[in-house]
Amino acid sequence: MTDQLERLNRLPLRENLRGLQPYGAPQLDVPILLNVNENTHGVPEDVRQAIVRAVEQTVAGLNRYPDREFTTLREQLAGYLGHGLTAANIWAANGSNEVLQHILLAFGGPGRTALGFPPTYSMYPLLAGATGTGYESGSRAGTFDLTPESAAEQVAATGANIVFLCSPNNPTGTALSLDVVTEVYEAGSAAQAIIIVDEAYAEFAHRGTPSALALLPGRERLIVSRTMSKAFALAGARVGYLAAAPEVADALRLVRLPYHLSALTQATAVAALTHSARLLENVDEIKRQRDRIVAGLTEMGLPVAPSDSNFVLFGGIEEPRTVWQGLLDAGVLIRDVGIPHHLRVTAGTEAETTIFLEILRSLIRPNLS
């Protein structure tokens, strides 16, 4: 490993990439995978068949490049999101990670800075690094809260060109109030900052949690990013998308690779969207398991962050590494996100959730305070 690191260091790597670690959630062969917030309920059988039929029809035309404008997909995504959006407001790519990369390529780069508020999605600084964009870490209150005043003040003080707001936030699970978005948008007007609201987990939010999609009209620097990886159970298909002013999509056309969304990807996503109601049925069940985890952990005396997503961040763990390993030894993989005394777990099926709660209970000593 050190040997390999030495060899890497001898390569003419870009200076700003030196010393960075690649994204690296462990991919282990374990019976119960609750570590990367995938949809644990899979694609329902009838939707599977619809996807297979769509892919089969597409294979006949694989000698041709796909629709570079992925028009049908953009129309379907606009229809799914509602809020009066049309295909012109939509952009998509291979996962919302690529969508975010397109945004950084178009609006970031050398001499520009992105601002995020840790603990938040670990890919933001890596995507900034890869695109030569500076990255600044803002701060939250002790309980991971981000108030409109504090967020706006930090945006103005840094003069950031791009701001990442993650709502519901990964890894804390908590949704932001829309006041944070509007205040940050205003605070970014001097620097003409692009404000990204990453709503990867929006479908899992408690009923009545508003989406930043409602704020798009009249805000041409606001971008709402979504994904089919979580609620739609399609992490393996790699489809992420955003809604924004049409001119934002035009900016992203300048940096995407030609034909970046394969015909197979487009066919899969369109077939899934045609069955979105069926796919989203599992979301309600996942939310029930999420709430079971919150109740179970609270019963064990562990502090839990309020969750509007399909995962739960919990504290009160003296040695996260030991508990993480104990769960792994019992066949359950969860995530150590590097926050002292905390661990994160994805909501599983009912059976998986039961096993997780039972093993965890056996591993921790009850908090008697």
Ligand X SMILES: *Cc1c(COP(=O)(O)O)cnc(C)c1O
Q: Look up residue 217 and give its two tokens.
A: 């009209």
> With CB under 6 A as the contact rule, which of the stretches 23-31, 144-152, 226-234, 343-351 interacts with ligand X?
226-234
Strands 162-166 and 134-137: unpaired
The interface mask with ligand X, positions 31-50, x = CB under 6 A, is: ------x-------------
Among 229, 276, 289, 346, binds ligand X (CB under 6 A): 229
Residue 131 dihedral angles phi and psi, to the nearest 5°? -105, 10
Among positive and negative, which fits the CA dihedral 29, 35, 37, 40? positive
DSSP for residue 335: B
Q: Residue 223: which of 191, 267, 255, 184 has the closest Cα?
A: 184
Q: Is 346 helix (H, G, I), strand (E, B) or coil?
A: strand
33: β partners: 333
Using CB under 6 A as the binding rule, the residues of this chain from 264 to 303 that contact ligand X are none
Dihedral pair phi/psi, residue 274, rounded to 5°: -60, -25
Q: Does 235 bind ligand X (CB under 6 A)?
A: yes
Residue 148 interacts with ligand X (CB under 6 A)?
no
Residues between 114 and 133 that touch ligand X (CB under 6 A): 121
| Least separation in angstroms between CB 235 and ligand X | 6
Stretch that binds ligand X, among 62-70, 179-187, 227-235, 349-357 (CB under 6 A): 227-235
Q: Which stretch binds ligand X (CB under 6 A): 45-53, 63-71, 94-102, 253-261?
A: 94-102
Task: Please state the three-class secondary structure of 77-99 as a single string.
Answer: HHHHHCCCCCHHHEEEECCHHHH
State the residue number with the nearest CB to ligand X. 95
167 binds ligand X (CB under 6 A): no
Q: Does 164 interact with ligand X (rule: CB under 6 A)?
A: no
Residue pointed to by tokens 């200076």: 15
Buried b (16+ CB within 10 A) or exposed e, 105-128: bbbbeeebbbbbbbbbbbbbbbbb
Q: Does 202 bind ligand X (CB under 6 A)?
A: no
Binding window for ligand X (CB under 6 A); candidates: 126-134, 138-146, 202-210, 223-231: 223-231
The least CB distance from residue 189 to ligand X, in Å, is 25
Q: Which stretch binds ligand X (CB under 6 A): 74-82, 91-99, 185-193, 295-303?
A: 91-99
* Residue 311 is a binding residue for ligand X (CB under 6 A): no
**Does residue 166 touch ligand X according to CB under 6 A?**
yes
168 binding ligand X? (CB under 6 A): no
Packing angle of the helix pair 71-81, 263-274 (nearest 10 deg): 30
Q: Looking at 89-97, 287-295, 319-327, 346-354, which segment touches ligand X (CB under 6 A)?
A: 89-97
Judged by CB, which is closer to ligand X: 191, or 309? 309
Instruction: Tell me: does residue 96 bind ligand X (CB under 6 A).
Output: yes
DSSP 220-239: TTEEEEEESSSTTS-GGG--
Q: Does 170 bind ligand X (CB under 6 A)?
A: yes
Closest to ligand X by CB, 22 vs 366, is 22
Question: Could you tell me if residue 22 is left (phi over 0), alpha (psi between -120 and 50 degrees) or otherwise beta?
Answer: beta
Cis omega (within 30 of 0) on the bond before 168? yes
Residue 308 interacts with ligand X (CB under 6 A): yes or no: no
Q: Which of 76, 161, 227, 289 lies at the binding interface for ligand X (CB under 6 A)?
A: 227
Cα 350 to Cα 330: distance, rounded to the nearest angstrom: 17
For ligand X, which is the closer residue by CB, 240 or 359? 240
Near ligand X by CB under 6 A, which window of 95-103, 279-287, 299-307, 312-320? 95-103
| Residue whose C-alpha is closest to residue 236's, from 39, 28, 35 | 39
The CA distance from 280 to 182, in Å, is: 29
The single residue listed with the structure tokens 């049908």 is 72
- Is 200 a residue that touches ligand X (CB under 6 A)? yes
Report in angstroms how near the CB of residue 239 gets to ligand X at its nearest: 7
- Residues of this chain that interact with ligand X (CB under 6 A) are 37, 95-97, 121, 166, 170, 198, 200, 227, 229-230, 235, 240
